[in-house]
């Protein structure tokens, strides 16, 4: 994960090692842990980018699924609604 300023320059970088993940969508959703990281750093006015449309669509969907992906997304939704403001 990386944080860049408004000029595109690197401000901070973080790497995490995880057990190999076979499911691409699950791996992409793990990137949402960046939400917690920027909150820990007390950063505000952040834009987040993801390149997996299906994960983003599911994040904003009200549908529920029974899977590891949905567990991660549910945690992210809760975090977004309680700790961060979404500008859409």
Global pTM reads: 0.62
Residues in the chain: 88
Residue in 46, 69, 49 with CA at minimum distance from that of residue 59: 69
Question: Rounded mean pLDDT of 14-38?
Answer: 77
Question: Rounded mean pLDDT of 43-61?
Answer: 83
Q: Residue 18: its pLDDT value, please?
A: 66
Domain boundaries, the chain: 21-83
Following DSSP, what letter does each residue of the chain receive, concatenated?
-EEE-TTS-EEEE----------HHHHHHHGGGHHHHHHHTT--S-----S-HHHHHHHH------SHHHHHHHHHHHHHHHH-----
Q: Residue 65: its pLDDT value, please?
A: 74
Question: Rounded mean pLDDT of 61-69?
Answer: 80
Tell whether the model's pLDDT for residue 21 goes beyond 70: no
């Amino acid at each position: 994960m990386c944080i860049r300023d408004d000029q595109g320059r690197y401000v901070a970088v973080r790497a995490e090692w995880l057990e190999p993940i076979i499911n691409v969508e699950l791996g992409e959703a793990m990137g949402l842990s960046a939400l917690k990281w920027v909150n820990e750093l007390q950063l505000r006015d952040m834009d987040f980018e993801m390149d997996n449309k299906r994960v983003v669509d599911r994040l904003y969907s009200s549908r529920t699924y029974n899977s590891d992906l949905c567990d991660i997304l549910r945690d992210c939704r809760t975090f977004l609604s309680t700790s961060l403001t979404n500008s859409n």
